[in-house]
Amino acid sequence: MAITRQTMTDEQRKSVALEYLKAYDNGGVTSTGGSILDLFAGDAQVYFPKWGLANGKDEIGKLFGEVGSRGKSIRHDYAGFNWIFTGTDLFACEGTSYGEHADGPWRAGVPEWGAGRWCDVFEVRDFLIQRCFIYLDPDYAGKDTARYPWLAGKTPDKG
């Protein structure tokens, strides 16, 4: 845990999270041309479903490389974000996304039960992401239906 040195407003924390999301959409490159990893503290943690917990920039880079290698493109729908602030360094962002995965395209709401809706819980301090826990369905192609009785026989194109 880093020692807090700079007081931040919610809007400043939000700007760090937005820079991260936009860098993710831009193949890991920030608006200034730097690496997405520059937005993280050295001892940061990132959680991604079906991958697990990455500790530190090296593991976070591995997580992003492995998860990102399955996607061809992603876009977050920035205009529809819901920001939930707690009055501390911890806050959440809920939103939707669309793009193309190695197994095909996806869009939030198409079908309604498919991938594309997500919620990230951030901890931002000293203008760096200390923690980012990502909550979403990583089955972007919508192929994991056999294990769920309510989805048996459904496909992404048939809802």
Domain ranges of the chain: 10-151
pLDDT exceeds 80 at position 57: yes
Q: Is the dihedral of CA 133, 136, 138, 144 positive or negative?
A: positive
**74-132 tens-digit pLDDT:** 999 999 999 999 999 999 999 999 999 888 888 999 888 888 999 999 999 999 999 99
pLDDT exceeds 90 at position 143: no
What are the E-state strand segments in the chain?
A: 40-48, 52-55, 71-76, 82-85, 90-101, 104-107, 117-125, 128-136
To the question of pTM greater than 0.85 for the whole model, the response is yes
What is the structure's pLDDT at 147? 87
Domain 10-151 is found in CATH 3.10.450.50: yes
Q: Which residues are within 8 A (CB) of 114 and not within 5 positions of it... i.e. 6 or more apart?
A: 106, 108, 137, 139, 142, 156
pLDDT exceeds 60 at position 50: yes
